[in-house]
Structure 1
């Protein structure tokens, strides 16, 4: 997890970043914003960086339009270049709104040499003008145009789990039919499959269909990446604990799957008698809790 970095250094290059075409920005913050505490239980925490510049991004998806974002940017070389970061929220059409670091500044740069760092964010963000928060786009570069940009990398982090949950909620009241995967009726894994495949940019389930297949896939992906989240794919899974559950996380049982609804409740296509609805997440012993994520770039 991120930690606060004491002794942050103030910026000293007021004219260095007047033009930064690599970020398509017109204004750059070079004064350290007030540091903010990291998010205790983020939906996802990933590194973004290239030689000389490293950022760690925490995202907590709060809904289909809002998220908490915490960032930390560090200079990891003595090459005299300033690391830069830009953050944007994107909707399902690619329209976006930039994170504003200070006033109208949408790019932040660290000046101070090797080891200098800064952090910020942590508050709820509801970007105006976009229909839904489909993904977070983070761009990190080492060096301004004037200094010579040594490297640049962009990563996109997708809000699959929370958006899929909303699509599942929209099916409330429809009947349970064994083997059905919509749009008029569902079984438990059919509802999960249908909901995720409504999310723009979700790569699809492929041949994964039944709850047992979904569980085997999630467990396999989590075993491959839970020790190191640096190489997450465009469709991936991470294992979470009971205490880390977020709304929309998948909860697997022997022969059943549902989505965590918050407050200790499970939302799922239950049975022909119960239809689609809610029950305790501990109605029987779960096999595991998983979050579907996507990272590209």
Structure 2
């Protein structure tokens, strides 16, 4: 399998603040406010943190890096930023774009080179979704680099719509109420992952990236797969937003307002104690089944 990326116009620049349009200034202010609020709400960045900003070359990670660099200048705490990209050796990948762009910003950066593309292409049959293996290999490479270089936080570019979509993916396809938290500790317990764009709408990121003319590098490895469950959920969400503007924001706010007593998980809420007299212990499942058998024998 050989996927060749199209040629990209390498425009390694950010629009100068003094030439920014009023619309861009207003949008930038909203994004800074939303990212700052997410950082404060979830304690994402602390004094002395070394933040590894994972940069893929897509609109989300470019926007995340840009906003974090702006906030860093006036932040109430001191923290460092290093942009890190994983070059997965996908055929046709324009290797010069990110280094040129990052050098123009004067930001500290590192390019990890690891041929995960060949592994995914060899292991996953033609036509099957690659995201699971690809993301696992990518995560492993990034975590390894973070640990080796003493980074205290790993920043990923998932936005509000990603968090909502993940909730519905787990609901529809995995029968569980869970999502993509704004902050988490990795499964091995060694890394803290943050998502500073947790409150930011994808539409705003699209508009901001376009205004800033970020040199976008598309990922044809996974983006071209039409049978992804996430793509199905995304289409559903787009239709909802067209029919009822503001619905995704409402759902996003609901993810931060959980009422355990209004759901059905006895591990989160003590339903056994609710309304119980306390005189006798509750019969367990086996006892109730025994009663059922007794009725059948009568």
Output the TM-score relative to the length of structure 1: 0.28
Higher share of residues assigned helix: 2
Q: TM-score, normalised by structure 2?
A: 0.28
Q: Higher RCO, 1 or 2 (CA under 8 Å, sep at least 6)?
A: 2
Q: Whose radius of gyration is greater, 1 or 2? A: 2
